[in-house]
Structure 1
Amino acid sequence: MIAVLQVKPAVCGGMTMKRRTMEYHIDGLIALLLFGVFAACLMAVLFTGANAYRRLTFRNNMFYENRTCAQYMTVKVRQMNDPRAVEIESFGEGDALVFPEGEYVTRVYYYDGYLMELYSEKNSALGPEAGEKVMEAGGLKLSLEDGMLLITITDREGTGEDLMLSLYDEGEVAA
């Protein structure tokens, strides 16, 4: 005779159900933990990228303002029929670059945190506040020696940029 050992299915099935339920909970916790790690890594990468983008944008804006200001000054000088007529005079919070145009003059100067431009009669009593704001700036220094115009433009952060322009055409020699 062969002895057959019978196990009650209810007891064995009950143990298996508890074991399976516990395995499902552990599997769920592991999946949730992996998702949390993935989300944390994703957020770290996004914040790092956003910070780098913010820094690059700020730097590019500052360079853009400096280049734009330097190009503006260069164009104003080059627009003159006779660049040698450019003068420097005290005006506003410092010096002004003066472009004579017959009975009128255009002054480019620094005043109250801005690079300003004022078009008026030569002997006008208008003050520096009457000019048009061109762009924000931190300061402007001008000097003119031997036909060379040195312009130092300071931005809002205090960084200066020098621009040197020759007021003579090619082939001309300063007298």
Structure 2
Amino acid sequence: MKKTKIKAVCTAAVLLLFFAFTISVLFVLMLLTQSYRSAAVSSELSYSERTCISYISEKLRHGDSEGAVYVGKFDGVNALFIDTVFGDVPYSSIIYFYNGWLCELFCEKGADFRLADGTRIIETKAVSFSEPQPSLFYIEATNLSGKTDKLHIFLRSGGEI
């Protein structure tokens, strides 16, 4: 009888330790899951905050040649135009804001396209372009969280510093 009681107490102690360990593991997993979610949300916000302005600045720097970059109207909307020539055919890369998205349309210069024809690049609240003087561009982008980033960029167009 004594052996049975001791065996039962030992079994109960082992089961109790097992359940305590299992509950501890589940608790740690829940904490790690919450931590991962926070990091993922933070990373997503950081991505959307920086990507819009970074994308536009890289497109401007890449298209920097004399007279190739300018602000104008595309289908009634303020847009940034970056002109290039392939072979003998002139093309335009048009960057604009439409229906909550930064969009880009690459087409033959002067072709008849609409705002909906462009490729969606990144979701954002607002984007505006201005060119207060030749080769000086002001870009403002408001991300989904409401933070507005500004870019003032002067294109050298191959000139010297």
Q: Which has the larger radius of gyration?
A: 1
- Given the alignment of the two structures, is residue 116 of structure 1 paired with residue 103 of structure 2, yes or no? yes
* Residue in structure 2 matching 1:67, options 50, 54, 67: 50
**Letter in structure 2 aligned against 1:156:** L
Q: Give the corresponding residue for 1:57.
A: 40
How far does residue 51 in structure 1 lie from its aligned partner after superposition? 1.5
Paired position in structure 2 for 1:106: 93
Counterparts of 1:87 and 1:50 in 2: how far apart (Å)? 48
- Structure 2: runs of 5+ lacking an equivalent: none
Q: Aligned partners of 1:25 and 1:83: how far apart in 2?
A: 89
The higher-RCO structure (CA 8 Å, 6+ apart) is: 2
Distance 1:73-1:127 versus aligned 2 partners, 3 A rule = same
Q: 1:111 is aligned with what amino acid?
A: Y
> CA 1:66–1:38 in structure 2 vs 1: closer, same or farther (change >3 Å)?
same
In angstroms, what is the RMSD of aligned CA positions? 2.7
Does 39-48 or 59-68 show the bigger shift? 59-68
Task: Give the alignment's TM-score, normalised by structure 2.
Answer: 0.75
Change in 2 beyond 3 A, CA 1:101/1:48: same
Q: Which stretch of the first structure deviates more once superposed, 86-95 or 66-75? A: 86-95
User: Which consecutive unaligned segments of at least 5 residues does structure 1 have?
Assistant: 1-16
TM normalised by structure 1 equals 0.70
1:75-132 CA-to-partner distances (Å, cap 9, x unmatched) read 2111224366532234468521122346543210111232211233554432101112
Deviation for aligned residue 1:58: 2.6
Partner SS for 2:105: strand
Count how many residue pairs are aligned between Structure 1 and Structure 2.
154
**Greater alpha carbon shift after TM alignment, 124-133 vs 160-169:** 160-169
Larger strand share, 1 or 2: 2
Alignment of 1:30-45 (within 5 A): 30-45=13-28
Percentage of pairs with the same residue: 27
1:1-175 maps to which residues of 2 (within 5 A)?
17=1, 19-82=2-65, 85-91=68-74, 94-101=77-84, 103-146=90-133, 147-168=135-156, 171=161
Structure 2 Cα separation of the partners of residues 43 and 83 of structure 1 = 62
How many angstroms apart in 2 are the aligned matches of 1:92 and 1:47? 51
